[in-house]
Chain A
Amino acid sequence: MADPVLSVTGLSRSFGALKATDEVTLDLRPGEIHALIGPNGAGKSTLINLISGALSPDAGSVHLGGMDVTRLGVSARARLGLGRTYQISSLFPEFSALRNVMLAVQARQGSSFRFFLPVMADASLRDPALSLLDRVGLAARAHVIAAELSHGERRQLELAMALALSPRLLLLDEPMAGMGPEGSKAMTALLAQLGHALPILLVEHDMDAVFALADRISVLVYGRIIATGSVEEIRRDPEVRRAYLGDAA
């Protein structure tokens, strides 16, 4: 089997007495969508933050493409190809959608210490940004201020910004949260398209989306992974049904 693009080994993190992440081991293989599910407060966002470098672990390690990045910060991991979106949209509210993506493209190019050329006249930022907006279905809204975009559009914009970094993998924290059924469907289709080119670690509550998209699923409960397997295996796993899925599956 191909080497994983991301591997997490024995990762732990406590907040006071609470073990939010408890010896989590998990990997993400090339070309797969690996869904991470679990009840609210299970520690999914915490795990994403540990992987992205926003939080530092008490123990364990994170490897990106074989390289140990456990001690690296958010910026450094982003430069190594780790793209992410946030559970709560995180954008530049005063910039237009286009300028949001352009800033991400600029970051990718690693060239923020240019003081003279106006960005709006800079085709090397504009063109890729426009095509990314097109890819996530936001081309028509390119000049709208981010603060004025609808909830679903913000999630699309976030995805465009994450893609602008030409990431080697994506961490998506509940990309469908707060979207209507239409939006969820569109996002599911978009992710299905991306997922074949780009491995995705997907935190999501929408089970229809998870079952439609995931190649593998890991179930997190109280900070621990209680099962990892294919969609079928997870659907059948008695412990998962008891702890999490209830009768929904």
Chain B
Amino acid sequence: MITRERLVEITLVLLLAAVPIAAQLLNEPFYLTLATRVAILGLAAVGLNIALGLGGLVSFGHAAFFGVGGYVAGVLAIHAFNGTPMLLGLPGTKLMPFIWIVAILVSGLVALGIGALTLRTSGVYFIMITLAFAQMIYYFAISWPAYGGEDGLSFYVRNGFPGVDTLKPLPFLLICYALLALGLILFQVLRKSRFGAALQGARQNEVRVAATGISPYRIRLVAFVIWAMITGVAGALYADLNRFVSPAMLSWHMSGELIVLIVLGGVGRRFGPVVGAGLYVLLEYWLGGITERWQLFLGLMLLGVVLFARGGLIGLLAGKPRHG
């Protein structure tokens, strides 16, 4: 049987697929950039959806992983461009698959460290400590002149992908779509797995999970690392989209935007991140063209969702989630 949620999801996929066609027909290549932003922010939000939606981990540090992914892309690209070796004499690279792997490894390692220390706490303390770590990384990036410091790091040519002309917006968009799709599949697989059951159990009733003999700490640590890895890849794509990475990607605004986006879309719902990212990017585009204060409207919408539609936009469209 096709549920309402499934129908909403199919519609969303068709809408995303229609963007490149519309861009072509209307001769509006900028639509491709918008769709790319949706895919990338959506992917970052999918990562957050694992930690927050499945695991109930409210943190304020995910910009750290987004930014780390971005810097990995920027730093590798700059070294490849200049032909200079990096740390330990390793060469840079301009190939996206390698960049993604490095972004996954580095974000994962950073998350393992931060998570191991912060997941002992919960609630407000967890929020504040993750924020503190993210700010440390932010200030570190600002005060690192070799990689642009406050000004950030520009690289003039987008990184490559074997057999694909990434300089053109459409192929790059398709790459981002593909990774978003992978992220969504991963979310679904994890949600249904034993790991997902334990992670959701720890959110619903931490004491009970512990009493059955599963350590919530270890489950959450793994979720935290997976989340960071996905966010890191999204960060690398974001850097490639803009051909620029700066400390702004690491700032707490970024963390806040991702949380806003997922709450708008629907926390814990598979396509919540996609809806949220779409809404966010469209609002930014339309309202941002009218007024600088477009985030005021975003805030009002957020208020509306929090007060009247706890399931976010997906909840409004598709009703309550099915459990089982």
Contact = CB atoms under 8 A, between A and B. Distances in A.
Interface of A: 52, 54, 73-76, 78-79, 84, 90-96, 99, 102-104, 106-108, 110-120, 122, 125, 143, 145, 161, 164-165
Size category, B interface:
20 to 34
Given A103-B212, A143-B324, A115 B207 contact: no
B219 interface: yes
A95 B207 contact: no
A99 B205 contact: no
Contact of B324 (A73, A92, A96, A125): A96
Contacts of A76: 213
Interface of B: 189-190, 192-198, 200-201, 204-205, 207-215, 219, 222, 323-324
Contact of B323 (A95, A102, A111): A95
B200 A107 contact: no
Given A94-B323, A115-B189, A143-B324, A106 B194 contact: yes
A102 B201 CA distance: 11
Contacts of A54: 207, 211
A118 B192 contact: yes
B219 to A, nearest CB: 6
A103 B212 CA distance: 8
Most buried by B among A52, A74, A102, A103: A103
A106 B193 contact: no
A74 B200 CA distance: 19
A65 B222 CA distance: 33
B190 A115 contact: yes
Given A116-B189, A117-B194, A165-B213, A90 B207 contact: yes
A117 B213 contact: no
B205 A91 contact: yes
A207 B319 CA distance: 47
Contacts of B205: 90-93
B194 A111 contact: yes
A114 B193 contact: yes
A91 B214 CA distance: 14
Most buried by A among B193, B207, B211: B211
Contact of B212 (A99, A111, A122, A165): A165
B229 to A, nearest CB: 13
B198 A103 contact: yes
Given A75-B214, A90-B208, 4 more contacts: A75-B211, A92-B201, A96-B324, A115-B194
Contacts of B323: 94-96, 99, 145
B212 A104 contact: yes
A110 B208 contact: no
Contacts of A79: 213
Contact of A119 (B194, B204, B212): B194
21 contacts: A54-B207, A74-B210, A75-B211, A75-B215, A84-B211, A90-B208, A92-B201, A94-B204, A95-B204, A106-B197, A106-B214, A107-B198, A112-B214, A112-B219, A114-B194, A115-B189, A115-B193, A119-B194, A119-B196, A120-B192, A165-B213
A146 B132 CA distance: 38
B189 A78 contact: no
A108 B198 CA distance: 12
B208 A91 contact: yes
Contacts of A145: 323
A116 B193 contact: yes
B207 A112 contact: no
Contacts of A113: 194-195, 222
A125 to B, nearest CB: 8
